[in-house]
Copies of this chain bind each other. A is one copy, B any other.
Amino acid sequence: MSAQLQQRLLGELEKLVLIDPHTHINQLDPASHTLADILGYHYYTELAHSAGLPREQIEQPGIDPKEKVSRLVPKLADIENTAQYSWLLEMCRVFFGFEDDRITPANWETLYDNAAKKMVQPDWEEQVLRTSKLERIFLTNNFDEPLTGFDTQRYIPCLRTDDLVFHLTKPETRTRLAKATGIELSGSASLKEAIGKLFEHFVSKNAKACAISLPPDFAPIRIEASAADPILRAVATGKELTADEQRTLSRFVFWTLAEHCADHKLPFDLMIGVNRRVYEAGVYQGQDLFDQRVSLIQYRALFNAFPQVIFPISVLAQISNQELVSYSWIFPNVVTNGHWWYSNIPAYIETDCRARLQAVPRTKQIGYYSDMYKLEFALPKFGMYRRILAKILAEDFVIGRGWAEEHALELGRQNLRGNVETIFGVDGG
């Protein structure tokens, strides 16, 4: 009975058209052209590499897409147990009519060719969106992107700020900033002005969020302009900063971003807990890991200082979920945001989603985002989430608490879509 109930709820949730509140889609080239675009996703290259495929074979410069796929396919047998592989199968089945149980050296080429034929169709992007029931997609944009040449109602800009906070000492970052804003950094005032220009630009292009990923040891506090000024001047002269100065600078820039989020009424997506380049010999985007010894208490000053800014928060370590639940339960401006990266597998999503639904106001939960680089991934990733959500709604709410099915479905729809609209101010389309 529980299985049938789940199926019924899932069927209803599958009718919902979605907004994806965080992706890495290239708005000018959103869908895949060959299976290599799909298998080139770092989830597959890093797992294949972890299972023994040398990086050099995967990342050989100038490699032909079909050749690349032919090298990855034999390794798929070793990772077919993973959730990531199940996404691959689901994409191949739904989009390319693949019917076998596994992708193997014997059958991949037909699949590759079938996929290529589909992907070359001029309306492939539209087909994917329609099949995936997806109508709006948040982007991750560099601060100096022009944001032109695409429909910003469909592909919604998001100001990504890692470079500003953590790489302002790199000359190319400052050059890009100067070029984007017309302002040369000479101190805190010019930095604030430059960042203000970025916000104005992004907001004028329909940006709905500012976003950043943060290392586990980051702890933002307010820095006086007078403390930032000498550091910014030193940066301008090309002087290398001490670790202390770098931290002060990062905090100053971060706090300035939060101030502009307040001024422009933009939510500030915080993705907390990643250590970059831990495995330096890893494949592209397959080098980052984390240190689970992190706490949201590090963000105490921020949450208190900006009650008017909404902070949708993603945590990398699954053990951080209870803190996220608890901080969202107490702070009006903290909301839960999706299931990020190493926490984005069913075992962790189920545990985390269940706790959120039991303890965080229903209006403050952004159920899921795909984090995808190519459009085809929304389908299996949201599919995975929807199945888990249907299970929890069935077990905990309909059976456990005696809710009517429609009542549970309202909760599910709000979690999957409604809160994306209200929290980011995206209208219902």
What chain B residues lie within 8 Å of A404 (beta carbons)? 101
A363 at the interface (CB under 8 A from B): yes
What chain B residues lie within 8 Å of A290 (beta carbons)? 297, 323, 326
23 contacts between A and B (CB under 8 A): A47-B361, A50-B330, A50-B364, A51-B363, A79-B361, A80-B362, A81-B357, A81-B362, A81-B397, A101-B403, A275-B297, A282-B330, A286-B330, A289-B296, A289-B297, A289-B300, A289-B326, A291-B295, A292-B319, A292-B323, A322-B343, A345-B358, A347-B358
Q: How many Å lie between the Cα of A287 and that of B303 in the bound state?
A: 12
Q: How many Å lie between the Cα of A355 and that of B328 in the bound state?
A: 26
Q: How many Å lie between the Cα of A288 and that of B331 in the bound state?
A: 10
With A295-B291, A358-B82, A361-B79 in contact, is A348–B322 under 8 Å at CB?
yes
What chain B residues lie within 8 Å of A358 (beta carbons)? 81-83, 345-347
Q: Is the CB of B342 within 8 A of A347?
A: no
- A81-B362, A319-B322 are known; give 16 further A-B pairs, CB within 8 A: A46-B329, A50-B330, A51-B364, A78-B361, A78-B363, A79-B362, A84-B359, A278-B297, A282-B331, A286-B330, A289-B296, A292-B319, A319-B319, A322-B342, A342-B359, A348-B355
Minimal beta-carbon separation of A248 from chain B (angstroms): 22
A5 at the interface (CB under 8 A from B): no
A249 at the interface (CB under 8 A from B): no
Q: Is the CB of A332 within 8 A of B280?
A: no
Q: What 1/0 mask marks residues of chain A from 239 to 273 whose CB sits below 8 Å from any chain B CB?
A: 00000000000000000000000000000000000
9 tightest CB-CB pairs across the interface, nearest first? A51-B361, A291-B297, A291-B295, A326-B342, A347-B355, A81-B362, A345-B358, A347-B354, A83-B358
What chain B residues lie within 8 Å of A317 (beta carbons)? 322-323
Q: Is the CB of B295 within 8 A of A292?
A: yes
Q: What 1/0 mask marks residues of chain A from 12 to 55 whose CB sits below 8 Å from any chain B CB?
A: 00000000000000000000000000000000001101111000
Q: Is the CB of B329 within 8 A of A292?
A: no
Minimal beta-carbon separation of A307 from chain B (angstroms): 7
Q: Which residue of B lies closest to A355 (CB)?
A: B347
| B-facing residues in A373-391 (Cβ within 8 Å) | none
Q: Which residue of B lies closest to A288 (CB)?
A: B330
Q: Is the CB of B401 within 8 A of A330?
A: no
| B-facing residues in A306-320 (Cβ within 8 Å) | 307, 317-320
Q: How many Å lie between the Cα of A290 and that of B364 in the bound state?
A: 20
Q: How many Å lie between the Cα of A404 and that of B401 in the bound state?
A: 28
Q: Is the CB of B50 within 8 A of A332?
A: yes
What chain B residues lie within 8 Å of A396 (beta carbons)? 346
Q: How many Å lie between the Cα of A351 and that of B47 in the bound state?
A: 21
What chain B residues lie within 8 Å of A280 (beta carbons)? 304
What chain B residues lie within 8 Å of A52 (beta carbons)? 332, 363
A66 at the interface (CB under 8 A from B): no
Q: What 1/0 mask marks residues of chain A from 111 to 155 whose CB sits below 8 Å from any chain B CB?
A: 000000000000000000000000000000000000000000000
What chain B residues lie within 8 Å of A275 (beta carbons)? 297
With A101-B407, A292-B323, A342-B326 in contact, is A361–B50 under 8 Å at CB?
yes
Q: Is the CB of B318 within 8 A of A322?
A: yes
